[in-house]
Amino acid sequence: MIRYLLLSLLFISGCTEKSTPDETEQTGQFITILGIAQDAGFPQSDCQKVHCQQFWDGEVKKRHVVSLGLTDQSTGQNWMFEAAPDFTAQLHQLKKTSRNDDLSGVFLTHAHIGHYTGLMYLGHEVMGASEVPVYAMPRMKSYLETNGPWSQLFTMGNISLQVLRSDSTIQLTPHLSVTPFLVPHRDEYSETVGYRISSPNKDVLFIPDINKWHIWERDIIEEIGRVDLALLDGTFYDAAELPGRDMSEIPHPYVEESIELFKDLPASEKAKVMFIHFNHTNPLILDSPERRKMEKLGFKVASEGLTIRL
């Protein structure tokens, strides 16, 4: 018990929901959670449910679409993981948290609307950016190059497409590296990847979208064991979340399924699991009994503004 408490305290010391400049050392490396919602955000368009009305009534805050910021303050560089539709607010938050104006690149996971459409803000009509590196797998790269309006970003020099290879590590700085790996998902326009983000001190897994854990060629429990934190697909809490929709057409590991799969993990391993990418119907996206239950079981729920020291 004492050993577990010490491990928990060490982990908590590396995660804080404060994102003010004083919370990070000038020479540090850290991740900032810039968004936690599924592709359509919270509230979703035309949502008539009670929890969406809470937002329109000013009772709860907007939740941005899933995105991470990665910062190396020793080199003054920032990267974004996902170009979400909320790119404008998220880029502002990243620069505010890091205290620098750099954007050294964007890493994409796949071609679903919440994960790449924010690239439009780099374009001629908005930022008019110059050669921002955009890291993408081969099919994703081809999709952007051959389909408008995304191809205009390439032809006008707003972005510079950098091809990724699965399980091939990119060394960003002496302190940070990124490794993409394929995961099974609905790959209509591109393949889908997750990422391992690594520093000399910590490894973080980022898998916002996957169909089901059991159809992946890798064992998610083993993958959790290899890292210090795992940001995992928590899109839907259970199978009853979307009445009238065929859930088999939008497969994700329900949070309840993940809890069952992880239930026998030691407490120190459960503490590594942090769910992210919540649909607007998922009770974990707001303060709820389900969220408190998760935390009581030893799992974590991602919050916007959370910084994770590396």
What structural domains and CATH numbers belong to the chain? Answer: 28-309 (3.60.15.10)
pLDDT in tens, 231-272: 999 999 998 887 778 777 778 999 999 999 999 999 999 999
pLDDT at 244: 77
How many CA atoms, within 13 angstroms, populate the side-chain half-sphere of residue 257? 17
203-207 β-sheet, strand order: 170-173, 176-182, 193-198, 203-207, 229-233, 273-276, 300-301
pLDDT in tens, 175-207: 999 999 999 999 999 999 999 999 999 999 999
Tokens 């990070």, located at residue? 24
Give the type of residue at 235: T
pLDDT at 20: 40
Q: Count Cβ atoms below 10 Å from residue 163 Cβ, excluding itself.
A: 12
Distance CA 94, CA 113 (A): 21
Tokens 């990724």, located at residue? 164
pLDDT at 245: 82
What radius of gyration, in Å, describes the C-alpha atoms of the chain? Answer: 19
The answer to whether 276 and 208 are in contact (CB under 8 A) is yes
Region of 76 (left: φ > 0; alpha: ψ -120 to 50; beta: rest) is: left
pLDDT at 27: 58
pLDDT one digit per residue (tens) for the chain, 310 residues: 444 444 444 444 455 444 443 444 445 999 999 999 999 999 999 988 888 899 999 999 999 999 999 999 999 999 999 999 999 999 999 999 999 999 999 999 999 999 999 999 999 999 999 999 999 999 999 999 999 999 999 999 999 999 999 999 999 999 999 999 999 999 999 999 999 999 999 999 999 999 999 999 999 999 999 999 999 999 999 988 877 787 777 789 999 999 999 999 999 999 999 999 999 999 999 999 999 999 999 999 999 999 999 9
